[in-house]
Structure 1
Amino acid sequence: MTTRAVRGYRTISKDAACLLAGAIPWDLDARAFADVFWRCAEARAGGSNPPPDVVRRWRNDARETAIEMWRERLENPQVSVDLVLAIRPVLKEWLDRKTGALSFRLTQVLTGHGCFGRYLCEIVGREENTRCHHCDADRDTADHTVMACPSWIGQREALTAAIGPDITLPALVRALLRGDPDWKAVEDFAEEVISAKEEAERIREREALDPRRRPRRRRRANNGDNNIPP
């Protein structure tokens, strides 16, 4: 459900999906609800009915506790390490933000799961190697695409002009949290660059299926024996 909410590929981890969706893991969320339930039950057992503002405060306290427990759980990530380390320092701000919806291509940039050589080769096995098809780099990743690939110099200049020279993943997350103008700058970069990479991938796939571009199979000599297939 969270993967679908952030428009991500099914290959992204549960931690990445929950973080991007701003969804506290269900076990911690359930613990928060249970805490509020038992506090209300204890108050009613004592003969009082807690007023709405008190219940609201209990809910906020329980949520704060759940977020802090989640932060501790993410202290030594085993999966989606770069994304977790980028969001964990600003976890509360990320969860409480009021604007900003993740697009399909922005999620690719944040997770590294998308139209990148590393993902296409090592995770889904659709390409033979991890090289970048847009420059001479041997390893195409989200970081390479955002910070280094010379094919995207123009888009990179527009991004740095909007959010500043630091375009590492933690800096992109902080930029998204600053509000609509910076969010749009990061999203525009992702949309333009990833859509171009996707189109290049579609062209490669069409060429691979084009029989005129396939190497011809060499016919085996049968030395005059008609029973041997060519």
Structure 2
Amino acid sequence: MAAVQRRGPLRVTCAYRTVSEEAVLVIAGAAPIDLLTFERATLYNVKINGDNSNEARARLKKETLHISGWLSRKHGETDFYLTQLLTGHGQFNAYLFKMNLHRTPTWKYCPDKIDDAEHTFFECDRWKDYRSSTEEILGARLSPRAW
């Protein structure tokens, strides 16, 4: 069932099939099927014991979704580019090299650095202007530790 459930989030997030099930479910904002099954079974038991309230349903749903901070975010939708950044699976030479699709894990602008998501987004001089304007808008310095 998890394999079937995985197909939807892969398409919603435009993720590569190499992204783990757990990661793609979090990015898509979906709960794993085993947690949903446990939630439904618990809800059934609660109903049998006489508690058919909306509060019980809400409590069980909250217990199921430990990723509520991500699900309730107000800063936009996920797309192909954000998915690549969050997973590291994308048009980064380090990933392409690992998949035997590129000769080296480095990039032409930074030949001494591994071209991965962290380097591209947080360190690479090629994208310094974009990073600076984003930091100016946010009023904070971007760093992988702050995420």
TM-score by length of 2: 0.84
The answer for the alignment partner of 1:107 in structure 2 is 83
Where does the alignment leave 5 or more consecutive residues of structure 2 unmatched? 1-7
Moved over 4 A (4+): none
Aligned with 2:137 (options 162, 186, 209): 162
Alpha carbons of structure 1 residues 92 and 158: separation in structure 2 relative to 1, 3 Å: same
Q: Does 1:116 align with 2:95?
A: no
C-alpha distance after superposition, 1:140-190 (max 9, x if no partner): 111100111111111111111122443234535xxxxxxxxxxxxxxxxxx
Aligned with 1:94 (options 62, 70, 79): 70
Rounded to whole Å, the distance in 2 between the matches of 1:22 and 1:170 is 22
The answer for the alignment partner of 2:64 in structure 1 is 66
Aligned with 1:126 (options 86, 101, 104): 101
User: What is the DSSP-based 3-state SS (H/G/I as helix, E as strand, rest coil) of the residue aligned with 2:136?
Assistant: helix
Rounded to whole Å, the distance in 2 between the matches of 1:5 and 1:112 is 17
The answer for the alignment partner of 2:45 in structure 1 is 38
The structure richer in strand per residue is 2
Aligned with 2:55 (options 57, 79, 95): 57
CA contact (8 A) 1:32 1:59 kept: no
Alpha carbons of structure 1 residues 31 and 170: separation in structure 2 relative to 1, 3 Å: farther
TM-score by length of 1: 0.56
Rounded to whole Å, the distance in 2 between the matches of 1:99 and 1:155 is 18
Alpha carbons of structure 1 residues 170 and 28: separation in structure 2 relative to 1, 3 Å: farther
The answer for the alignment partner of 1:223 in structure 2 is none
Aligned with 1:8 (options 9, 12, 15): 15
CA contact (8 A) 2:122 2:144 kept: no
The answer for the alignment partner of 1:199 in structure 2 is none
Larger-gyration structure (1/2): 1
Q: Identity over aligned residues, as a percent?
A: 29
Alpha carbons of structure 1 residues 137 and 163: separation in structure 2 relative to 1, 3 Å: farther
| Matched residue type, 1:133 | K
The answer for the alignment partner of 2:4 in structure 1 is none
How many residue pairs are counted as aligned between the two chains? Answer: 140
CA contact (8 A) 1:3 1:10 kept: yes
The answer for the alignment partner of 2:25 in structure 1 is 18
Rounded to whole Å, the distance in 1 between the matches of 2:74 and 2:138 is 19
Rounded to whole Å, the distance in 1 between the matches of 2:19 and 2:143 is 20
